């Protein structure tokens, strides 16, 4: 039996057992089971007052970062909505839910995750989020009516219940501190795990080769004058201006699109270069800068030897504006390299004994980073009842926020169903 299925059954049974054992303390609201407590209130209030200067700075910074994140989220949502509507992208939003398999699975609108990755990530997501709301309330001497946990179907969650009447009468800045606290702490959590990921890679792994892709352009299908047959999975596409290449896989994936991505005609793809690049002419490669430095010593039409994780290739370099050109791109971005260095280079663990543990930790940490950043961005969208909607209402008014909430809701909904309308 699949370990993911076993884990899912154990987790589901645990949720049922918790509901049964705590049935006298649970409040039931339809399919939602809630348990409230006031036990942690005093500890939170003491901590918030004792370290008020720190928390005030923290939450002030949180307001600024959260508003900037909201702006980014709105821009991303609009951009993604337009690309789906134009038929040039099928990447929409996706619910992240636990699956019954030990493998990650993605399709438009749904991202299924092995249960234990999901459970650990949810705990890491929820705890600082709700605790930050509570500390922000306590620091501003606003009442915390209760804290607690809930189970919706089999999905666990947590909450902090403020005195909404008192909160609504507080100053706008205090309200912003409270509403922005959770998502800001999710972003801080993501930063912490980014640091952990990079430390893990430095301590336990050795870089071995880089990932790359072939340079690509986007063309309209109406511009295609002639398309050749596929030979070894590769075909030529002639347009009025130049010749491109496309793989059979890419062609099939973009069959229903009006605009398609094609590869530029360079030596790397012509030679079938594949696998991570480990060495060029006997020199080890661990960064994209290594490739550029080595190629700078060669002239167009020189032939070089490239060692990859799959084979050794002898490739004749092309002439690109008078410089030797292989025809690969790493898409290197300094910020993205910090967020996910595994996307740019291959790593080999130093001690094979810890290979499975290392793989689990890298996947888990990467997933936590993705969830914390993703949830923070979505939660800060200006749509009630999300925190971003509450922030917007503080900054504007209820009428404007309600109208904007419907607009954002429609765009989010379209990001879920739009890909099915165009591509399925």
DSSP string, 356-368: HHHHHHHHHHHHH
pLDDT of residue 91: 64
Q: Tokens 């915390």 belong to which residue?
A: 144
What would the two tokens of residue 122 be?
């949810």
Give the pLDDT of the chain (424 residues) as one tens digit per residue: 677 788 778 877 887 787 778 777 777 777 777 787 777 888 898 999 999 999 999 999 999 999 999 999 999 999 988 888 876 666 667 888 888 888 888 877 788 888 889 989 999 999 999 999 999 999 999 998 888 877 777 777 888 889 999 999 999 999 999 999 999 999 999 999 999 999 999 899 888 888 888 998 989 988 989 998 988 889 999 999 899 999 988 888 888 888 889 999 999 998 989 899 999 998 988 888 888 889 899 999 999 999 998 999 999 999 998 899 999 887 666 677 777 787 778 888 888 888 888 889 999 999 999 999 999 999 999 999 999 999 999 999 999 999 999 999 999 988 887 776 654 4
pLDDT of residue 421: 66
Q: What is the 3-state secondary structure (H, E, C) of 78-103?
A: HHHHHHHHCCCCCCCCEEEEEECCCC
pLDDT of residue 422: 54
pLDDT of residue 88: 61
Strands (E), 123-204: 144-152, 155-162
330 and 212 Cβ atoms separated by less than 8 Å:
yes
CA distance 283 to 153: 56
pLDDT of residue 3: 75
With CA atoms as reference, report the closest residue to 245 among 234, 256, 260: 234
Q: Tokens 């690309």 belong to which residue?
A: 83
CA distance 116 to 367: 11
pLDDT of residue 424: 46
Q: What is the 3-state secondary structure (H, E, C) of 275-318?
A: CCEEEECCEECCCHHHHHHHHCCCCCCCEEEEEECCCEEEEECE
Pairing label, strands 94-99, 109-114: parallel
State the pTM of this model. Answer: 0.81
Query: Could you tell me if residue 64 is left (phi over 0), alpha (psi between -120 and 50 degrees) or otherwise beta?
Result: alpha
Beta bridge partners of 148: 36, 159
The C-alpha R_g of the chain, in whole angstroms, comes to 26
CA distance 272 to 305: 14
13 Cβ neighbours under 8 A, 6+ residues apart: none
pLDDT of residue 285: 86
CA distance 390 to 382: 8
First to last CA, the chain: 32
**CA-CA distances (angstroms) from residue 388 to 174, 176, 185, 263, 361?**
15, 10, 14, 41, 32
Give Dmax over CA atoms of the chain in angstroms.
79
Q: Tokens 């890679």 belong to which residue?
A: 201
Q: ∠ CA(413), CA(415), CA(416), 5° rounding?
A: 65
pLDDT of residue 292: 87
CA distance 414 to 82: 10
Give me the domains of the chain, ranges plus CATH numbers: 3-206+357-378 (no CATH), 208-351 (2.30.42.10)
CA distance 170 to 309: 61
Helix (H) or strand (E) holding 113: strand 109-114
pLDDT of residue 206: 85
What would the two tokens of residue 150 be?
């809930």
């Amino acid at each position: 039996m699949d370990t993911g299925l076993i884990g899912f059954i154990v987790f589901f049974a645990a949720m049922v057992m918790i509901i049964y054992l705590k049935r006298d303390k649970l409040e039931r609201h339809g399919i939602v089971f809630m348990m409230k407590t006031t036990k942690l209130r005093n500890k939170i209030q003491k901590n918030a007052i004792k370290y008020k200067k720190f928390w005030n700075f923290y939450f002030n910074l949180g307001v600024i970062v959260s508003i900037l994140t909201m702006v980014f989220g709105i821009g991303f949502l609009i951009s993604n909505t337009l690309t789906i509507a134009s038929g040039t992208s099928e990447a929409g939003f996706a619910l992240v839910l636990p699956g019954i398999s030990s493998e990650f699975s993605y399709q438009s609108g749904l991202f299924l995750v092995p249960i234990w990755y999901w459970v650990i990530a949810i705990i890491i997501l929820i705890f600082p989020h709700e605790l930050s709301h509570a500390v922000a309330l306590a620091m501003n001497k606003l009442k915390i009516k209760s804290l607690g946990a809930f189970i919706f179907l089999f999905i666990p969650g947590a909450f902090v219940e403020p005195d909404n009447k008192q909160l609504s009468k507080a100053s706008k800045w205090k309200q912003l501190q409270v509403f922005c606290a959770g998502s800001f702490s999710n972003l801080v959590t993501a930063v912490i795990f980014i640091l952990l990921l990079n430390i893990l890679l430095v301590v336990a792994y050795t870089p071995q080769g880089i990932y790359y892709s072939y340079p690509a352009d986007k063309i309209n299908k109406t511009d295609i004058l002639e398309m050749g047959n596929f030979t070894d999975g590769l075909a030529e596409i002639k347009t009025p201006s130049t010749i491109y290449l496309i793989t059979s896989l890419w062609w099939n994936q973009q069959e229903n699109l009006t605009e398609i991505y094609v590869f530029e005609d360079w030596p790397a793809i012509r030679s079938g270069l594949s696998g991570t690049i480990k060495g060029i002419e006997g020199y080890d490669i661990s960064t994209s800068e290594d490739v550029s430095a080595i190629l700078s010593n060669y002239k167009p039409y020189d032939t070089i030897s490239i060692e990859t994780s799959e084979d050794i290739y002898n490739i004749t370099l092309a002439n690109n504006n008078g410089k030797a050109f292989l025809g690969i791109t790493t898409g290197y971005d300094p910020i993205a390299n910090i967020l996910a260095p595994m996307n740019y280079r291959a790593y080999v663990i130093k001690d094979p004994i810890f290979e499975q543990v290392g793989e689990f930790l890298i996947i888990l940490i990467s997933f936590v980073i993705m969830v914390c950043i993703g949830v923070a961005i979505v939660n800060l969208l200006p749509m009630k009842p999300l925190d971003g909607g509450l922030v917007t209402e503080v900054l504007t008014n209820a009428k404007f926020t309600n109208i904007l909430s419907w607009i954002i809701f429609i765009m989010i909904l379209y990001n879920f169903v739009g890909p099915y309308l165009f591509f399925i």
